[in-house]
Amino acid sequence: MNKSGAERIREAFGDGKAFIPFITCGDPDIETTGKLIRAAVKNGADLIELGIPFSDPTAEGPVIQGANIRALQGGVTTDKIFDFVRELRKDVTIPLVFMTYANVVFSYGAEDFIRTCNEIGIDGIILPDLPFEEKEEFSPLCKQYDVALISLIAPTSDKRIAMIAREAEGFLYIVSSLGVTGTRSEITTDLSSIIKVVRENTDIPCAIGFGISTSEQAKKMSEIADGVIVGSAIIKLIKKYGRESEKAVGEYIKSMKEAVID
């Protein structure tokens, strides 16, 4: 029997701490995105978050907003990304999850979107603007098509942490800081106490994202969590080097993976 998306995602955390890069599809173009994903796999990425660009990405800071704009201006669409992932799956075997916004799924048609995720080999979806209380909009479809609906826990989740953890699938995305995505010089949230509550309520792995950019930060976060997610620092490299960013991104991912497995 084929494994579900949630099972495949959990396996990404099975061999030490996971490093999870985020890449916006179509920035600067789809061909470069393919090269970057393969470079990420080669350099130790355990799972990759693929951003589907959206015109109003409310959780993103200016860096990832810029990537969304560049990708959309370049003509990328959800259907083009689906075709791209189909092609990618011919040689990329690690778990892949989409990160996008509820409106993208709604406007495509939720069932069509989630069924296509299953068909092309997407293991999970992350919708940062979907409140936990409204996840029933998508949850039954995700279960039907074996696509994990990955929940986020923020520093403000407070009394809801245990409830979110108990219903989590795949992995839990722990948001390190209030505000939007972007690199931060330091992360001051008491993440240990959040993760303690998570551990008391589920054995599903948790990964910390938002604001992590240096190997020192990655190492520190991997000491308390099962994995580390990095987006803005990678997008900055892609913006700087454009179509020639494969080498720089590969080297960066290698250094971050080494930091989390020390």
Q: What distance in Å separates the CA atoms of residue 6 and residue 190, rounded to the nearest whole number?
A: 27
Encoded tokens for 178: 């209030």
Could you tell me the pLDDT band of residue 159, with boundaries at 50, 70 and 90? confident
- pLDDT the model gives residue 188: 52
Question: pTM of the prediction?
Answer: 0.94
Q: What distance in Å separates the CA atoms of residue 64 and residue 74, rounded to the nearest whole number?
A: 15
pLDDT tens figures, 16-35: 899 999 999 999 999 999 99
Q: Is 5-254 a CATH 3.20.20.70 domain?
A: yes
Domain ranges of the chain: 5-254
Q: What distance in Å separates the CA atoms of residue 144 and residue 138, rounded to the nearest whole number?
A: 10
- pLDDT the model gives residue 57: 67
Helix, strand, or coil (residue 19): strand
Q: Is the pLDDT of residue 170 over 80?
A: yes
Encoded tokens for 74: 């370049």
pLDDT tens figures, 57-98: 665 678 888 999 999 999 999 999 999 999 999 999 999 999
CA distances from 202 to 151, 172, 199, 224, 234 (A): 13, 10, 5, 15, 30
Q: What distance in Å separates the CA atoms of residue 64 and residue 182, rounded to the nearest whole number?
A: 8
Nearest to 106 by CA among 85, 129, 87: 129
